[in-house]
Chain A
Amino acid sequence: GQNIDQPTEMTATEGAIVQINCTYQTSGFNGLFWYQQHAGEAPTFLSYNVLDGLEEKGRFSSFLSRSKGYSYLLLKELQMKDSASYLCAVLDSNYQLIWGAGTKLIIKP
């Protein structure tokens, strides 16, 4: 079966750095997405990785290793507004998005 694992919840301090991991086992791979979702709102796009390596976009970076079925989202200089759920999703061979359960990130002052 298809499976995506990410931690349920993480806590970090304002101004610090946090890494949210995602491992996946899917039928085929056409890219991995990270989305941010604030409570009661729809997800918003953060990043897309289809090749191995690190993609940097401002305070957020996303890494992918296809051979290991592994990705992480790195958030730097954390701000209180970064408190949200972070969803990892993989596009499988049928171009269907397979979603992880999300990681709730709590930022403390």
Chain B
Amino acid sequence: GAVVSQHPSWVICKSGTSVKIECRSLDFQATTMFWYRQFPKQSLMLMATSNEGSKATYEQGVEKDKFLINHASLTLSTLTVTSAHPEDSSFYICSAPSGLAGYNEQFFGPGTRLTVL
């Protein structure tokens, strides 16, 4: 199956700093990637849809100026958490649909655990 990687796997940062998370599709091209956030014992919450070559689409309640998304190529999307605060501590997961005809499976990256002190 298709493989999606994320980097870093975990990061600890001080409040007020910015953190960049990379999401790569390793063996397929992804014109669309999705960014999710998951708090402990809760389900995935879609934050935004990243589109290659155009602006990301953010879900209601997600600050676009705080969570900067760049999808510069067909295999890479980045999420930058700007001026991170402790409440941004969460598990961030990206996914990309395989795009196979008639089958819309999404492949997930391994996730990035962010802890803001």
Q: Residues of B contacting A48 with CB < 8 Å?
A: 103-105
Chain A contact residues, majority secondary structure: loop
Complex: A41 Cα to B112 Cα, angstroms: 9
Which of A41, A95, A100 lies in contact with B104, CB distance below 8 A? Answer: A95
Q: Considering only CB atoms and an 8 Å cut-off, how many residues of chain B contact the other chain?
A: 20
Q: Considering only CB atoms and an 8 Å cut-off, how many residues of chain A contact the other chain?
A: 19
Answer yes or no: B106 CB below 8 A from chain A CBs: yes
Nearest B residue to A91 via CB reads B104
Task: Give min CB distance, B84 to chain A, whole Å.
Answer: 20
A to B contact number (C-beta, < 8 Å)? 42
B105:A43 contact, CB within 8 angstroms: no
A101:B43 contact, CB within 8 angstroms: yes
B44:A99 contact, CB within 8 angstroms: yes
Task: Give min CB distance, B90 to chain A, whole Å.
Answer: 12
Residues of B within 8 A of A (CB): 1, 34, 42-46, 49, 91, 93, 103-111, 113
Instruction: Name 23 interchain pairs, CB-CB below 8 A, sorted by A.
Output: A30-B104, A31-B104, A33-B105, A33-B106, A40-B91, A40-B111, A40-B113, A42-B109, A42-B110, A43-B44, A45-B1, A45-B105, A45-B106, A45-B107, A48-B103, A91-B104, A95-B104, A96-B49, A99-B43, A99-B45, A101-B42, A101-B43, A102-B43
